[in-house]
Amino acid sequence: MFKGSIVALVTPFKGNEIDEFALRNLVDWHISEGTDGIVPVGTTGESPTLNHDEHERVVEIVIDQSNKRVPIIAGTGSNSTAEAINLLKHAESAGADAALVVTPYYNKPTPEGLYAHYEALDSASSSIPIIIYNIPSRSVIDINIDLMGRLSHLQSIVGVKDATSDISRIKQHNELCENGFIQLSGEDETIYEYMINGGQGCISVTANILPKVCSDMHKAFSNNDLEEAKKLNNILMPLHKALFIETSPSPVKYILSKMGLIDYEIRLPLVKITQETKSMLDEIISNLEIK
């Protein structure tokens, strides 16, 4: 169920409010382009800048508009366990197919604290599957292999979005984690290596811009057509790199605004990209014939 090209969806704003019309259109566009799943209110969705009502509303809109056509994995992470539980319960009641729960950031829990955090979420969840989001570059916390193995035995924990860049973890997770443990890449740049080493998919930033190409690449992987998958990945690579020239999702939102899909609005403390970055992105857009 959770595999292939899964988009880490941006949250469009208009006049500093959630642009529901644009958000619904994005959901429909992604589904028509072949996107296999949608993650609202993750990092790319600017979840740290959304208040609780906005966070919950975005989840509700995406679930409603998708109408069960693709799985919805709602971002429900927080560095407060109590808050993460509340977000998880809302996602479950709203009808999300799974929850993406980032490791607690800033307060730097010990491995036992991390285990207790996810154990509390597991206890609070009656049915919704939980995918752990391990991204040490942002959270300053890394779930090591042994701890991931322990966590995988909690009933609700079904997989990981891994943004460590460590491809060797795929095999190590397979050895220590529960059978069927889902492994999704959290880094577009390493997706080819991740997939050929046993990954099941990617929660992708690049898919915001070129969802069909990302979807076609994953179809090639599923058909074991590695030559086609590599060709498509090579096409995407300049975009993979460019979208992180400045802090994401500002470059993503700039390109989407050029495509006429959203307004170019981003919330502080993130800011709009520089003119130099705009020029670089404009060249890449032109080369890829993105319209």
Catalytic residues: 133, 161
Degrees (nearest 5) of the Cα angle 248, 26, 66?
120
Beta strand spans in the chain (E):
4-8, 13-14, 17-18, 37-39, 73-75, 98-102, 130-134, 157-162, 182-185, 201-204
Question: Around 88, how many Cα atoms within 13 Å sit in the side-chain half-sphere?
Answer: 29
Q: Which amino acid is at 110?
A: T
**Distance between CA atoms of 128 and 76, rounded to whole angstroms?**
12
How far apart are the C-alpha atoms of 170 and 148, rounded to whole Å? 11
| β partners of residue 72 | 38
Longest dimension (CA), the chain: 50
